[in-house]
Every structure is written in C-alpha cells, then in structure tokens.
Amino acid sequence: MKPPSLSKPLQAGLLMTVMLTAIALLKPEALDASVTDGSPVRAASNQKTGTDLRPQAPWIRLAGEEWKPSDAELQKAADALVAAAAPVVTPPPVVEPPKPTAPDPALAYLGRIDQDGRHYVFLGRGADPQVVEIGGLVDPQWKVEKATATQVQLRYLPLNEVRSIPVAAVQ
C-alpha cells in the first residue's frame, strides 16, 4: 500500500507558512520607553517630542512602528516558493498504435475458366494449385471477390480489407 503523501501545491504552501512564521518570530519587539543609555527614543503615546532618535540597533522596533519585511526578505521568500513548487509536466501525447493491415495473400494467379455460367480462378500457393469459384473461400481468411482481365480481388475476412493479385499473361 502506498503511504499517503502531500500534493506539490500543498507542500509549497506549507513551506511558505513555515518561512513566514520564522520571519515573524525573528522580528524584534516594540519598545515603549527609552533605550537603556537614557536617550529618548519614542514615547508610547502618539505625541512627538521633536527629538525622536532612532536607536543604533536596527533590530529594535520602536513603539507604534509597523514591522514589514524588507524587499530582500520578500524576494527571498518568493524565490523559495517558486523553487519549492514543482514544475508542471505535461503528459506525453497519446500515440495510437498503427491500424492492423491485411497480410500478403501469398497466392499467384494461374488462370481462369468459365464453365456452365460459373466462373472459376486457378490460384497457386507454392506448389499447391487451388480452383476457387468467384465468391468462394480460398481458405478461412481469404475470399475471392471478383476477377477481371487485369486483376483478381481477394477480401481478407478478419479485417474486411481488399487486396489484389495482378493477372499476368499466361503462356
């Protein structure tokens, strides 16, 4: 049994959540009072003293200051999301197998005879000559359809396909 797994989009979403959670946990806390060296920073109230000084430590966030990730952090998170997302792979096109065709009948035209209003052809398979009435079966797979002065038409019954045997001038 195959163990359950997460889809690629869900994995990418979870990775993004983990990254943003880590960034949020690493952000500095806001200060309500002055920095420990005694210099005024920013008061917790909305009044400005005119002597707002930014502390020398950039990781310290002042009270009332909104934290936003830097452009570099946003770009890094976006790049990680793109890298985590699996590329879309299109399935290969479905190639249909070639349509089956009738085999070569392996018969040779030997002659033709008309007797009592019935038409017969002489066909040879190797050293085995056969006399077949037009419309009759040569074997369970081949049927003689018609015979003209230039060709004999045979039908391959399993595929219902017609093949022709050329009629050569018999000496």
Which domains are delineated in the chain? Answer: 8-42+53-84 (no CATH), 108-166 (2.30.30)
Confidence band, pLDDT 50/70/90 cuts, at residue 170? low
What's the mean per-residue pLDDT of the chain? 80
Confidence band, pLDDT 50/70/90 cuts, at residue 89? confident
pTM above 0.85, yes or no: no
Report d(CA 32, CA 42) in Å as an integer: 7
Report d(CA 60, CA 38) in Å as an integer: 15
Place of tokens 């005024």: 40
| CB-CB contact of 85 with 13 (8 Å) | no
Query: Residue 128 pLDDT > 90, yes or no?
Result: no
Confidence band, pLDDT 50/70/90 cuts, at residue 50? very low
pLDDT for residue 86: 66
| CB-CB contact of 127 with 140 (8 Å) | no
Place of tokens 């009759």: 136
pLDDT for residue 153: 94
SS3 state of residue 158: coil
pLDDT in tens, 21-30: 888 888 766 5
* Residue bearing the bigger pLDDT, 59 or 17: 17
Query: Residue 7 pLDDT > 90, yes or no?
Result: no
SS3 state of residue 73: helix
In single-letter form, the type of residue at position 17 comes to T
Query: Residue 100 pLDDT > 60, yes or no?
Result: yes
Structure tokens at 116: 């009592």
